[in-house]
Amino acid sequence: MKTAKLIPMDREHRLQKRVHQYVSNSELFFSNASAAVTLFLDALPHADSRLLSKMLPLLGCAGDDRVLWPLFHLITSRSLDDPLRTNAAIHLGLAASLSQNPLAIRNALIEKLNHPDAAIRCSCALSLGWKGNRPAIKPLALRFCDPDQDVRAAVITALSSVEDEDVLVLLENRLKCGTKEEQRVIFLHLWRFRKHLSQVEDIYINHMAKADTDLRLDMLVGLAMLPLSPKLIDLYRLFVVDKNARIRHQIVENLSTVSPLEYKALNQHLRKLLDDEDARVRQAAIKLFARPR
């Protein structure tokens, strides 16, 4: 009688199998958070990109300071591809925001803002972007002069995530001297400063008239994240007749996310779009008026 030869599973395979159980069931992960984090940290050096991308959100939300330095070493590693590095940076920032004492990790990230590798500067800037992280404002602002465009964009994204009034002033000033790409990133993030809603609305409104079509579209995308107000109604009334169809279409898209009662004052102008020369604008307008009222 033949007996099957048992081949012991190697440790790496066992680790990955257990990690897969957790990434497929977040409730299981958080019900055993401490043990799960220990397991994830053991498996981290062995995880491929696909598995790692599933582990990162759980590590970022774990609320366990043990994840901070492994994630830091991950984003400062030259071997990581850029999309995964960005993903890891975002979740390191989340983990740091949940830490009771983020001083050491914050200082380490700030120090790396001067790293010769732009990808590492970029990821460290992103990681510093958590709400209330005021000590990072000045070091991040100093990187407005970074020679790399992606780093400057990451700095704007991070500063916007801090959601501080001083940052809003910084970004408003940067609109006056920054590149077009920097302006685009700023307009896409201004909506985060909801506590200063009136000021944010005024910044958008004051720049709409003099901006080109691309910047106007970015501003409208940002404005879609704000509640519809009398100021925005007036702005939409002005640009719903814009000669560029993409502008008209974006305004209709913005309005499709709010109650029809909120934009009732615009109906006269919107009805004209039912016969618009652009097919996409017509279709969007038809859908808008087909909504229950």
Residue ranges per structural domain of the chain: 68-162
In terms of C-beta density within 10 A (0-12 exposed, 13-18 middle, 19 or more buried), how is residue 131 classed? Answer: exposed
Write down the pTM of the prediction.
0.89
Give the residue among 96, 120, 110, 117 at the shortest CA–CA distance from 140. Answer: 110
Residue 260 DSSP symbol: G
pLDDT (tens, 9 = 90+) of the chain, 293 residues, equals 455 544 445 777 888 889 999 999 999 999 999 999 999 999 998 899 999 999 999 999 999 999 999 999 999 987 888 899 999 999 999 999 999 999 999 999 999 999 999 999 999 999 999 999 999 999 999 999 999 999 999 999 999 999 899 999 999 999 999 999 999 999 999 999 989 999 999 999 999 989 999 999 999 999 999 999 999 999 999 999 999 999 999 999 999 999 999 999 999 999 999 999 999 999 999 999 999 87
CATH 1.25.10.10 holds for 68-162: yes
CA angle, corner 254, sides to 222 and 230, nearest 5? 85
Dihedral sign, CA of 257, 258, 259, 262?
negative
Which DSSP string corresponds to 141-179?
A: HGGGG-S-HHHHHHHHHHHHHH--HHHHHHHHHHHHHS-
